Structure 1
Amino acid sequence: MKRSAFAIITFLFIAFAAKGQSIEEIQTSKDYIWGTGNASTLKKADNEALAALISQISTNVSSKFEQLTEGGTNGDQATVDETFKSVINTYSRATLNNTRRIVIQNEPEAVVMRYIKVAEIQRIFDGRKTKILDFAQEATRAEKKAQVADALRYYYWALVLLQSYPDGNFLTLKDEDGKDLLLSTWIPKQMNDIFSNLKVSMESTHLDGDLKTINLRVLYKGQPARNYDYTYFDGRDWSNIFSAKDGTGIVELPVLANARNLQLRTEYMFEGEANIDNELAEVMGTVNPISMRNCALKLEGEEPKPGEEKTEDVQLANADSAATTNSGMRFLSAMESAAYEDAMKKVESAIRTRNYDGIQSLCTESGYDMFNRLIKYGQAKIVSEPQFKFLECNGEVTCRSLPMSFKFKSNQRTFVEDVVFTLNKEGKIDCLSFGLNKPAVDDIMNQTSWNDTVRNVLINFLESYKTAYALKRYEYINSIFSDDALIITGSVLKHTAANEGQPMSKQAVKYTRQTKSEYMKKLQHIFRSSEFINLRFADNQVRKSGVGGEIYGIQIKQDYFSSSYGDTGYLFLMVDLNNPKEPVIHVRTWQPEKDPNFGLIDLSHF
């Protein structure tokens, strides 16, 4: 129950007598901003004190938010009709970690004061500035790799956060040439350029009962879009969100519906994913949405008849002789791959017809278990005619790949994954995984100084790691972590001065650790409570350590989605491949964002 102003004054008077002049000095000094709260518990009183402090901070910085009072859109410059006070309120308790607290009176009639030095107010905004610039830089990198969904998502999120930053209309980012880019005008221009370079056409049609699936070809600047999110109007309503991968997407319509002039709308707000970042979600719930009118486009071409293929891409010729890399890996020739192709055609037919009677004979025991988990994961369905390619390395054959769509009852999203099959020497399916996108594979394959076995193992390892969480393979995850693994699920990172170019010392980082058993116990609970888990790797970089033999550091921009939780951040894995058949993770760290002082944890920390 809120108390009267008279009661608060009484409490303050008592506190002054008990604490000397400290509280009075804070309240009368121009060097501090403060707020008080009173409630039946300390926690509630503290929350009220923080709210009062935020209100005072908003008054203090109001002049810097005057540019936010204009509504609407002015050309490429987006503004929102929001007062600075509501924007300041998006700075959460976690953001206000440099405020101080005085308990004036304890429960049951608690009174709390929160205060901050005026000189430290800018520190409140520094974290958000870092996040805005980080999002903009991530978007730029994603656009260069044709990762359309990632680029638009980060551009829009940066644009939204810009509305909550003091002098946001004047914040700039330096480009590769050192030129300052005004984010408030540059970001909308970048987004409109992406919209204008998209082309979506119909490739093939498949019938499935009273529904038909039309496979789409999604090109960005003439190349397959590595990812792309969209909705479409089916004549009655807009669909849920669909996600295309590596140029392949789908639309699902009633059999009698005509896809001619079907309208698509490119997803760019990603409101459903914003909850992976509490700060972002709060801002998006506060400011007005920014409308991008150029996000709509039409499907090109006529709807293909069932069984008819329409594609503009040049098909790869099947060579009669094997293509060999500079060492051990090689693509099998048509003759060598015939038996494997026959097995994969049976798998394809079984999934399309939902008749799995003969599958067990094509798999090892572990392969059959993974197949069953995969089919049960998200109503799996093949979305286009696969073009199987078989890569042999050290007696194992990898088949890339079978494109499939997945969706869940509790998540309004349909997404496409390339399912990769690993076959043993006897030609039986031993493992299934969700494939990495092409840029991620290329980053590893282009490391020509590494031997082929290592490159192949790294790709398989990352794909298996990603898939293990989706298919809840607890035993596999437990097996790949060393017993003494350093696992950091949250961290407080502090930087100490070091000479430029020198690696950071271990003492420069303060870790919040979990043991392997603690991590696995928590993971087991997550698996039991989640209908689905989906890891999305927006980017990855792999580097070799200079010591320890075949030790590799893997940095991944990871989005984690489940039916009950979501987050986004940077995953780092230090993996030991000295025994390539048994990769071992010695270090796993996760950062919600780049540290403003040193960026990301990497091999130099260990």
Structure 2
Amino acid sequence: MKKGIVLLFLAVFCLQAQEPNIHTIRSSRDYYWGEATAAVAAEAQDQALADMIKKIAVTVITSFKDKTTETGGTIEEKVESILKTHSAATLKNVHFINRPEGMQIHSFAYMHKDELTKIYTARKQLAYELYKTALFHEESTLNLAQALKLLYFSRLLLQSVPEAQIIVDDVNLTVSIPEKINDICRNIRFKPILDETLDERERCVTLEVTYKNQPVSLLDFMFWDGSNQVSVQTRDGQANVTLYGSSVSFDDVDISIKYNYYECRKEIDAVYQLWNVVVHPEFNTAMKISLSPKRSIKDMFRPDPVAGVRLIQPEPFTDLEIPMPKVATAVEIFQASLNEPENVETLFQEDPFLNAKMKNFLKYNQPAVLSQLVEADVRPHWHGYEVRRIPVTNTYKTLNKQTTEYIVLDTDTSGQFMDLTTALNNHTYEQFVLGDSFIHEFMHRQTIIKFIEKYRTAYMTRDMDLIDKMFADNALIIVGRVVE
């Protein structure tokens, strides 16, 4: 027993001997330190940490001179802000010595200078992980919107590291990130494939959007319509640009590919904290698209029997007996509701569910049917059939935004129109659902996709009741269009 007590005493003594005291730290050049006094320990520690950061900022300020903005405060304040973005997440090796001082607590914060290098390493690693994820989206999913966003965020994070050349795993991020952003933008192609003058005040141009000869899964770009900057989203290789008023007469349109995702900056806390502190790199993504020659809508080919939609029964479902005439009627009803929204009440007078859902879809998204010929696949699901990928153009005038969406229509086993959802991008669908040739496995995978698409549609139709039920604590199952 006595031997154990002696060993414990020796261990505590050795541990205390290893811990530097305040006097040693202050007189040493191996530490950063700060101190403060406050009524409670937590407040004293926060103030001591802030004091330490201020002193670190003085030592590294010259390394950040070209990386901070020139407005909104002194360079000293900007560098302190940069260091605080590290402290919020990665200053884990700061030690504190707290002692009573009268009725208050005196806190002494300190950190060995070697730890600062570890902190910068963590930030470089985060930038590198974003860079690798961006490459995955560029090469594998063709989601160029996500790739450009992550590359830009990664480049922004490098502004918080006081090194001229930042290299991780033999990759020079300082050089590779801007090169990749420029390479992506340089290899995107926009080709007008349809140009419709709907009337003297409205014109719709459909663009084929490819990257290295492959259809782009997702991409955002902006154009100037003569009075406003309009945002357009490309999905599955196609974008629709709607011109109004004086812009109807444009012979070409100037666009710029989006890479600065201001509205997404809060997705990564360090990016959000750095946003107003560091210099933002700029890239020239502008290009001009010729819109000639123009064709009027009366010149367009409109196939029968369903206006603009050719229904396909793909492999391995060619042997199934699908009631195609009834399915075609469902497509026509959907198109009629878009072309004549005032008749939705009549079209769905015996179906309150579709009546309400279609009204909300029209109200919040302002969709318009495209007139070019498209092919839509008809496949089975657990409760009937689906018609996948009918393109529409959604317009959000208050946001100056236009997007291409693809609609999925669900029918029952007789072909009766039952539901509509907005589709995920085609690359995801093909990779996840069509990756198995067995019909029973296809149905299981399709169920997962349908759940995601129903959630996405609930968001677009502002169906908060369904969203709350989907994420309720108690389990639920979506059976067709019923939540159980």
Quickly say closer, same or farther: Cα 1:86–1:484, change in 2 above 3 A: closer
Of stretches 35-44 and 25-34 in structure 1, the one that deviates more from structure 2 is 35-44
Structure 2 residue 127 is the aligned partner of structure 1 residue 139: no
CA deviation vs aligned residue, 1:110-154 (integer Å, no higher than 9, x gap): 765433343433443344223211211111111123222122111
Higher relative contact order (CA 8 A, sep 6+): 2
Report the equivalent of 1:404: 392
Q: Which structure 1 residue ranges, 5 or more long, are not aligned?
A: 1-20, 73-81, 174-179, 311-315, 486-515, 517-576, 585-606
Q: How many angstroms does 1:169 deviate by?
A: 1.6
Report the equivalent of 2:214: 223
**Distance in 2 separating the partners of 1:352 and 1:581:** 26
Query: Of the candidates 287, 290, 304, which is equivalent to residue 297 of structure 1?
Result: 287
Query: Of the candidates 161, 165, 185, which is equivalent to residue 165 of structure 1?
Result: 161
**Distance in 1 separating the partners of 2:35 and 2:197:** 65
Give the secondary structure class of the aligned counterpart of 1:268: coil
Pairwise mapping of residues 66-85 of structure 1 onto structure 2 (< 5 A)?
69=66
Report the equivalent of 1:120: 115
Q: How many angstroms does 1:163 deviate by?
A: 2.1
Quickly say closer, same or farther: Cα 1:276–1:147, change in 2 above 3 A: same
Report the equivalent of 1:540: none
Report the equivalent of 1:557: none
Indicate conservation of the 8 Å contact 1:41/1:107, yes or no.
no
1:137 maps to a residue whose letter is K
Quickly say closer, same or farther: Cα 1:262–1:581, change in 2 above 3 A: closer
**Distance in 2 separating the partners of 1:109 and 1:291:** 49
1:296 maps to a residue whose letter is A
Indicate conservation of the 8 Å contact 1:148/1:226, yes or no.
yes
Of stretches 153-162 and 116-125 in structure 1, the one that deviates more from structure 2 is 116-125
**Distance in 2 separating the partners of 1:226 and 1:331:** 31
Q: How many angstroms does 1:478 deviate by?
A: 5.7
Report the equivalent of 1:563: none
**Distance in 1 separating the partners of 2:400 and 2:38:** 41
Pairwise mapping of residues 270-285 of structure 1 onto structure 2 (< 5 A)?
270-285=261-276
Pairwise mapping of residues 373-388 of structure 1 onto structure 2 (< 5 A)?
373-382=360-369, 385=372, 387=374, 388=376
Indicate conservation of the 8 Å contact 1:215/1:384, yes or no.
no
Identity of aligned residues (%): 21
Quickly say closer, same or farther: Cα 1:391–1:35, change in 2 above 3 A: same
Quickly say closer, same or farther: Cα 1:477–1:87, change in 2 above 3 A: closer
Q: How many angstroms does 1:435 deviate by?
A: 0.9
Give the secondary structure class of the aligned counterpart of 1:358: helix
Structure 2 residue 358 is the aligned partner of structure 1 residue 368: no
Pairwise mapping of residues 305-344 of structure 1 onto structure 2 (< 5 A)?
305-307=295-297, 308=299, 322-325=313-316, 329=317, 336-344=323-331
Indicate conservation of the 8 Å contact 2:253/2:291, yes or no.
no
Structure 2 residue 237 is the aligned partner of structure 1 residue 247: yes
Query: Of the candidates 125, 129, 144, which is equivalent to residue 124 of structure 2?
Result: 129
CA deviation vs aligned residue, 1:524-568 (integer Å, no higher than 9, x gap): xxxxxxxxxxxxxxxxxxxxxxxxxxxxxxxxxxxxxxxxxxxxx
Structure 2 residue 278 is the aligned partner of structure 1 residue 287: yes
The CA RMSD measured in Å over matched residues stands at 4.2
Give the secondary structure class of the aligned counterpart of 1:149: helix
Indicate conservation of the 8 Å contact 1:461/1:583, yes or no.
no
Q: How many angstroms does 1:458 deviate by?
A: 2.4
Report the equivalent of 2:337: 350
Query: Of the candidates 141, 146, 152, which is equivalent to residue 156 of structure 1?
Result: 152
Quickly say closer, same or farther: Cα 1:278–1:479, change in 2 above 3 A: closer
**Distance in 1 separating the partners of 2:101 and 2:474:** 44
Indicate conservation of the 8 Å contact 2:309/2:390, yes or no.
no
Report the equivalent of 1:187: 177
Quickly say closer, same or farther: Cα 1:390–1:474, change in 2 above 3 A: same
Quickly say closer, same or farther: Cα 1:204–1:332, change in 2 above 3 A: farther
Report the equivalent of 2:198: 207
Report the equivalent of 1:33: 32
Give the secondary structure class of the aligned counterpart of 2:404: strand
Give the secondary structure class of the aligned counterpart of 1:433: strand
Give the secondary structure class of the aligned counterpart of 1:447: coil
**Distance in 2 separating the partners of 1:132 and 1:262:** 35
Give the secondary structure class of the aligned counterpart of 1:291: coil
Query: Of the candidates 78, 88, 111, which is equivalent to residue 83 of structure 2?
Result: 88
Quickly say closer, same or farther: Cα 1:232–1:37, change in 2 above 3 A: farther
Q: How many angstroms does 1:331 deviate by?
A: 9.1
**Distance in 1 separating the partners of 2:81 and 2:236:** 41
Q: Who wins on radius of gyration, i.e. which is larger?
A: 2
Quickly say closer, same or farther: Cα 1:423–1:405, change in 2 above 3 A: same
Give the secondary structure class of the aligned counterpart of 1:135: helix
Indicate conservation of the 8 Å contact 2:123/2:157, yes or no.
yes
Quickly say closer, same or farther: Cα 1:62–1:473, change in 2 above 3 A: same
Quickly say closer, same or farther: Cα 1:71–1:481, change in 2 above 3 A: closer
Q: What TM-score comes out, normalization by structure 2 length?
A: 0.76
CA deviation vs aligned residue, 1:267-306 (integer Å, no higher than 9, x gap): 112222213223112223222221222x111113415334
User: 1 or 2, which has the higher helix percentage?
Assistant: 2
CA deviation vs aligned residue, 1:63-118 (integer Å, no higher than 9, x gap): 8x47x64899xxxxxxxxx9865643443524434434455679998765433343
Quickly say closer, same or farther: Cα 1:249–1:581, change in 2 above 3 A: closer
Q: Which structure 2 residue ranges, 5 or more long, are not aligned?
A: 1-19, 70-76, 302-307
Quickly say closer, same or farther: Cα 1:437–1:108, change in 2 above 3 A: farther
Report the equivalent of 1:233: 224
Report the equivalent of 2:421: 433
Report the equivalent of 1:262: 253
Indicate conservation of the 8 Å contact 1:323/1:332, yes or no.
no
Quickly say closer, same or farther: Cα 1:208–1:301, change in 2 above 3 A: closer
Of stretches 37-46 and 214-223 in structure 1, the one that deviates more from structure 2 is 37-46
CA deviation vs aligned residue, 1:396-444 (integer Å, no higher than 9, x gap): 1111223334465775644332222211124333332221112211221
2:363 maps to a residue whose letter is K
Give the secondary structure class of the aligned counterpart of 2:294: coil
**Distance in 1 separating the partners of 2:393 and 2:127:** 33
Report the equivalent of 1:3: none
Report the equivalent of 2:15: none
